[in-house]
A and B are shown apart, each in its own frame.
Chain A
Amino acid sequence: MKNEISFRISGQNGDGIFSSGEVFSKICSRSGLHVHGYRSYQSVIRGGHVNYSVRAANWDVAAPANYIDVLIALRPDSFIVDAPHMSDDGIILYDSKGFRIKPENVKVKEGVRVVDMPAVELAAQFSNLKIVANTVFLGAVVAIFNLDMSVFEKMLADNFASKGEEVVRVNVESARAGYNWAKENLEPLQLDITIDPNAEPKMFIGGNEALALGMLIGGLQFYAWYPMTPASPVGHFIAKYGELAGVVCKQMEDEINVSNSVVGAAVAGARAACATSGGGFALMTEAIGYASMVEAPVVYIEVARGGPSTGLPTKQEQGDLRQLLGASQGDYPRAIIAQTSVEDGIILGQEALNIAEKYQMPVIIASDLYMGEHFETIPEPDPEAIPIERGKLILDEVPEEMRPYKRYLVTEDGISPRTIPGVKYGQYDAGSDEHDEFGKLISDVRAGYPESIKIRIEQMNKRMRKMETLLKELPAPTAEGHPPEDADVLLVTWGSLLDITREARRELETQHGKRTAHLNIRYIEPFHSKEVKEILESYQKAGAKIILVENNYTGQMGQHIRMKTGFEIKDKYLRYDGETILPREITSAVLEILNR
């Protein structure tokens, strides 16, 4: 018996697919289940084909489902795009009359039950809006999964409360009509799931929103952005909620100026951040080196999508790692950290702001479309769990013994005491040219003089020392799962593949008897070269197969690891088709490599 719910609704843009998916997600969440939601969409506003997948269980689901058990197929294309992913005994609900789906459109594999449901006709009893048919369909789905109808009704009442009692009534009655129709015409699925309609619901939020919320909790003061899929939800969240919390949210004219405005904000003393995707990040890069040179604390978020160039704007890829690593000219200190889960967004949003300010350097957050645009139930964040750490920041006047003030004082840890405009005796010029301890340029009339050469070396060493200081603070990665002497395979991934790979490991362990281990990289720069090398070598020596899994063509993290450790991971499963990797796909790839 299945111990999870796997549901999808698909149709055109404008059909209300995402809101229906979200409603069903929240029904599951309010029934005491863990929920994973993922929407697939296209770069068009009307038409096109979109879907929303929901997976829910009593256990901590954190990856997309391998197969769909129940599909609401609103449009003919649902049978082309979504039906092939049905489980062998899955159910497809559609409305041939209401959505003009011809019999020749209805193509499914053997075993899948196809149910023609008059959803539009049932909805028409209560409303002349076609979109109400979605509520009828969802009522039927609630019946099929044996969920509690009262939870759905409460959900509708909450959702439409602002639109008045009549709208609530229409939706509740439509939902009941669908529910009753399914009870009369369909056998519910037999599932091994415990439903608790009185459960305390969990927070249900997307990866981008969690990161934005994390930054708000982390004391963000200035956020700049320019719209770009799939990073825009970060900006939408801060525009909507941040402004009411005292955060200035500014949509700029382009990413070059986004990237520079956050440096201006940071020098002025604000906790500043911005987010974009690959193409926008390309425009931002000059200012990232500039931020590092003037030692301004800024958080840059890059939510990758399929490249190169405009590429696949609404599709998944981890293809921008080399761009993050190679951003901006010269050697300069910066941190690059990957978001590894929705819940991690809450932590990373705060951690990144703290690292940026303590180390007075840019922090780049590496996310991707799947990471940012999938939703999960997470525990409500504790706003006091992570302290706001501002590092060596002088906010009163500069003490006498520190005058005249040296903004770029050479120190052992590389971090100099920082002032911001408004602080007495703390004036300095934040200059992008090489400078001395006071911030005075050594790049023009002083260039080439022995004293300037000495200063250049001292300042470069001082800045780069921050990378060593930071590395000591960051927790080293560890491999989870079986220890080296007891493992068949070590999977190596980074960022968003954490939970999908964990689930693949469960499949490999429980269904295929393989002993697995997993190393997922979160801190990319500075990099724990020594520890990563030790992990890889220990598994190799013990005879375990080491397999790199990445969502790109060249295995960019594999290259990074090799550059940092000299260790080459030869076996790879690389995917660059734009789709999120499913657990079962990793499982098959691993089995295939192990059986070679």
Chain B
Amino acid sequence: MVATQQNVQLFTQKDWKTDVAKPTWCPGCGDYGVLSATRKALVELQIDPTDTLVISGIGCSSNFPHFIGGYGIHSVHGRAAPNAVGAKLSNPDLTVIVAGGDGDGLGIGLGGFVHAARRNLDITYVIMDNQIYGLTTGQTSPTSLLGAKTKSTPYGNIERPINPISMALAAEATFVARTFSGDAKHFAEVMKRAIAHKGFAIVDALSPCVTFNKFNTYDYFRERVYKLEETDHDTSDLMAAFKKAYEWEFEDKVPIGVFYEVQRPTYEEQELAYKEFGNPVKRGPQRPPNLKKIIKDFY
């Protein structure tokens, strides 16, 4: 929940750090950038860690919840999205952030990712995208580029990669962005907008794996990224967003920033169960107030 007192810093960086665990990522891993930018965005938005749930699946990046304040769920491989759907629907007042890798979200978890997006729950999903399976020591991932040589494709990848941006757009996400963990300031700004967005926000976070992906390196991205904010890109134009989504593939340029943003009623706003009785978790379990009416149908 966003705090109302604008001028008082109720929550600081300290609240978003945790004594429990230190990051276990390799030195230089892009995920450090994701972590610090996310903390920065959360502090700037003055979000209360007590009312925040950070959810992940399995993978290097999925250790994320352990390294950040707030409540966390470190679920099973590929299932961050459905865990987030259940949690958010049960307590719609929570700030729910999903963080996980490209393999977790776009490989094994693609079904959950797509369906979570189209529901337009007020959830932020950060794909920590390193285009490789890191924790299992370097196999091809759904976003590995054509030709990528990995342990599972030693002679080169012959499958076209999933395009996280066009996939998110096609899945009806209402906020679709990309950022780069080599640009801390841009990252924090995009994260801030994503978390503040009311609806399902997807951030494709280019987060280089320094150990297993020797192709999509910091330098690779530094040579190719440019900021959409510095162009005349119209974020309300879905077709323009699709066009931008394919620039990496067809023009070897990597646009970062917000591709698409639209306001649509969220799932929570339309959920009938809240209308009369409010937030299920805050209210607590109750006997059905309409029991007599239900039973009447069975005589």
Residue ranges of A at the interface with B (Cβ–Cβ < 8 Å):
26, 29-30, 201-205, 209, 213, 216-222, 224, 241-250, 252-254, 256-258, 260-272, 286-287, 290, 294, 353, 380-381, 383-384, 388, 390, 395, 404, 420-424, 426-433, 438-441, 444-445
Residue numbers in B under 8 Å from A422 (CB-CB): 50-51, 91, 93-94, 281-282
Residue numbers in A under 8 Å from B281 (CB-CB): 221, 268-270, 420, 422
Given contact pairs A250-B89, A420-B281, A422-B91, A264 touches B71 in the complex (Cβ within 8 A):
no
Interface string of B1-37 (1 = CB under 8 A from A): 0000000000000000001110010000000000000
> In the complex the two chains form, what is the Cα distance from A256 to B50 in whole Å?
29
Given contact pairs A290-B75, A429-B65, A441-B66, A249 touches B273 in the complex (Cβ within 8 A):
yes
Asked whether B73 lies within 8 Å of A429 as measured between CB atoms, the reply is yes
Residue numbers in A under 8 Å from B58 (CB-CB): 432
Given contact pairs A270-B281, A445-B24, A431 touches B87 in the complex (Cβ within 8 A):
no
> In the complex the two chains form, what is the Cα distance from A202 to B82 in whole Å?
41
> In the complex the two chains form, what is the Cα distance from A404 to B19 in whole Å?
10
Count A-B contacts at CB 8 Å.
231
Residue numbers in B under 8 Å from A404 (CB-CB): 19
- Asked if B39 CB lies within 8 Å of chain A CBs, one says no
Given contact pairs A204-B299, A216-B294, A218-B285, A254 touches B90 in the complex (Cβ within 8 A):
no
| Contact for B86 among A263, A430, A432, A440, CB less than 8 A | A263
> In the complex the two chains form, what is the Cα distance from A523 to B158 in whole Å?
53
Asked whether A246 lies within 8 Å of B276 as measured between CB atoms, the reply is yes
Given contact pairs A216-B294, A262-B86, A287 touches B49 in the complex (Cβ within 8 A):
no
6 more CB-based (< 8 A) A-B contacts, given A428-B72, A430-B74: A204-B298, A248-B273, A264-B90, A270-B90, A272-B86, A429-B71
Residue numbers in B under 8 Å from A262 (CB-CB): 86
> In the complex the two chains form, what is the Cα distance from A265 to B284 in whole Å?
13
| Contact for B94 among A213, A266, A268, CB less than 8 A | A268
> In the complex the two chains form, what is the Cα distance from A430 to B20 in whole Å?
13
For residue B291, give the distance in angstroms from its CB to the closest CB of chain A.
6
> In the complex the two chains form, what is the Cα distance from A242 to B287 in whole Å?
11
Given contact pairs A421-B50, A432-B74, A203 touches B91 in the complex (Cβ within 8 A):
no
For residue A571, give the distance in angstroms from its CB to the closest CB of chain B.
40
Residue numbers in A under 8 Å from B293 (CB-CB): 244
Residue numbers in B under 8 Å from A213 (CB-CB): 294-295
| Contact for A222 among B52, B280, B291, CB less than 8 A | B280
Asked whether A427 lies within 8 Å of B49 as measured between CB atoms, the reply is yes
| Contact for A220 among B86, B285, B291, B298, CB less than 8 A | B285
Residue numbers in A under 8 Å from B294 (CB-CB): 213, 216, 241, 245
- Asked if B290 CB lies within 8 Å of chain A CBs, one says yes
Which 5 pairs, one residue from A and one from B, show the smallest C-beta to C-beta distance? A219-B285, A264-B86, A246-B277, A261-B86, A264-B83
Asked whether B111 lies within 8 Å of A257 as measured between CB atoms, the reply is yes
Asked whether A421 lies within 8 Å of B111 as measured between CB atoms, the reply is no
For residue A375, give the distance in angstroms from its CB to the closest CB of chain B.
9
Asked whether A221 lies within 8 Å of B79 as measured between CB atoms, the reply is no
How many residues on chain B are close to A (CB under 8 Å)? 64
Most buried by B among A268, A290, A381, A420: A268
Asked whether B287 lies within 8 Å of A427 as measured between CB atoms, the reply is no
| Contact for A245 among B90, B271, B289, B295, CB less than 8 A | B289
Residue numbers in A under 8 Å from B24 (CB-CB): 444-445
Asked whether B71 lies within 8 Å of A427 as measured between CB atoms, the reply is yes
Asked whether A257 lies within 8 Å of B288 as measured between CB atoms, the reply is no
For residue B282, give the distance in angstroms from its CB to the closest CB of chain A.
8
- Asked if B81 CB lies within 8 Å of chain A CBs, one says yes
Given contact pairs A252-B85, A257-B81, A244 touches B280 in the complex (Cβ within 8 A):
no
Q: Please report which residues of chain B, range 53-87, place their CB below 8 angstroms from some CB of chain A when the two chains form the complex.
A: 53, 55, 58, 63, 65-66, 69-76, 79, 81-87
Asked whether A201 lies within 8 Å of B299 as measured between CB atoms, the reply is yes
Residue numbers in A under 8 Å from B70 (CB-CB): 421, 427
Asked whether A287 lies within 8 Å of B79 as measured between CB atoms, the reply is yes
Q: Which residue of A lies closest to B285 (CB)?
A: A219
For residue B166, give the distance in angstroms from its CB to the closest CB of chain A.
20
| Contact for A433 among B74, B271, B278, CB less than 8 A | B74
| Contact for B90 among A248, A294, A445, CB less than 8 A | A248
Residue numbers in A under 8 Å from B277 (CB-CB): 245-246
For residue B90, give the distance in angstroms from its CB to the closest CB of chain A.
4
- Asked if B286 CB lies within 8 Å of chain A CBs, one says yes
> In the complex the two chains form, what is the Cα distance from A390 to B284 in whole Å?
10
| Contact for A269 among B52, B74, B91, CB less than 8 A | B91
What are 6 residue pairs bridging A and B, where the CB atoms are less than 8 Å apart in the complex?
A247-B280, A261-B89, A264-B82, A269-B90, A422-B91, A426-B50
- Asked if B112 CB lies within 8 Å of chain A CBs, one says yes
> In the complex the two chains form, what is the Cα distance from A100 to B287 in whole Å?
52
Residue numbers in A under 8 Å from B276 (CB-CB): 244, 246
Residue numbers in B under 8 Å from A244 (CB-CB): 272, 276, 290, 293
- Asked if B283 CB lies within 8 Å of chain A CBs, one says yes
Asked whether A261 lies within 8 Å of B273 as measured between CB atoms, the reply is no
Q: Please report which residues of chain B, range 242-299, place their CB below 8 angstroms from some CB of chain A when the two chains form the complex.
A: 271-274, 276-278, 280-291, 293-295, 298-299
| Contact for A268 among B91, B284, B295, CB less than 8 A | B91
| Contact for B298 among A205, A256, A353, CB less than 8 A | A205
Residue numbers in B under 8 Å from A242 (CB-CB): 273, 288
Residue numbers in B under 8 Å from A26 (CB-CB): 299
- Asked if B193 CB lies within 8 Å of chain A CBs, one says no
- Asked if B115 CB lies within 8 Å of chain A CBs, one says yes
Asked whether B299 lies within 8 Å of A248 as measured between CB atoms, the reply is no
Asked whether A432 lies within 8 Å of B51 as measured between CB atoms, the reply is no
Asked whether B299 lies within 8 Å of A29 as measured between CB atoms, the reply is yes
> In the complex the two chains form, what is the Cα distance from A241 to B88 in whole Å?
21
> In the complex the two chains form, what is the Cα distance from A422 to B92 in whole Å?
12
Q: Which residue of B lies closest to A209 (CB)?
A: B298
Residue numbers in A under 8 Å from B75 (CB-CB): 260, 263-264, 290, 430, 432
> In the complex the two chains form, what is the Cα distance from A244 to B70 in whole Å?
32
For residue B198, give the distance in angstroms from its CB to the closest CB of chain A.
19
> In the complex the two chains form, what is the Cα distance from A445 to B53 in whole Å?
24
Q: Which residue of B lies closest to A438 (CB)?
A: B20
> In the complex the two chains form, what is the Cα distance from A264 to B76 in whole Å?
11
Given contact pairs A246-B283, A427-B69, A421 touches B79 in the complex (Cβ within 8 A):
no
Q: Which residue of A lies closest to B69 (CB)?
A: A427
For residue B50, give the distance in angstroms from its CB to the closest CB of chain A.
5
> In the complex the two chains form, what is the Cα distance from A204 to B51 in whole Å?
44
> In the complex the two chains form, what is the Cα distance from A407 to B297 in whole Å?
44
> In the complex the two chains form, what is the Cα distance from A202 to B299 in whole Å?
7
| Contact for A254 among B50, B69, B111, CB less than 8 A | B111
For residue A483, give the distance in angstroms from its CB to the closest CB of chain B.
39
Asked whether B112 lies within 8 Å of A247 as measured between CB atoms, the reply is no
Q: Please report which residues of chain B, range 82-114, place their CB below 8 angstroms from some CB of chain A when the two chains form the complex.
A: 82-91, 93-94, 111-112, 114
Q: Which residue of A lies closest to B267 (CB)?
A: A250
Most buried by A among B66, B86, B284: B86
Asked whether A287 lies within 8 Å of B76 as measured between CB atoms, the reply is yes
> In the complex the two chains form, what is the Cα distance from A286 to B78 in whole Å?
12
| Contact for A441 among B21, B51, B114, B115, CB less than 8 A | B21
> In the complex the two chains form, what is the Cα distance from A267 to B55 in whole Å?
11
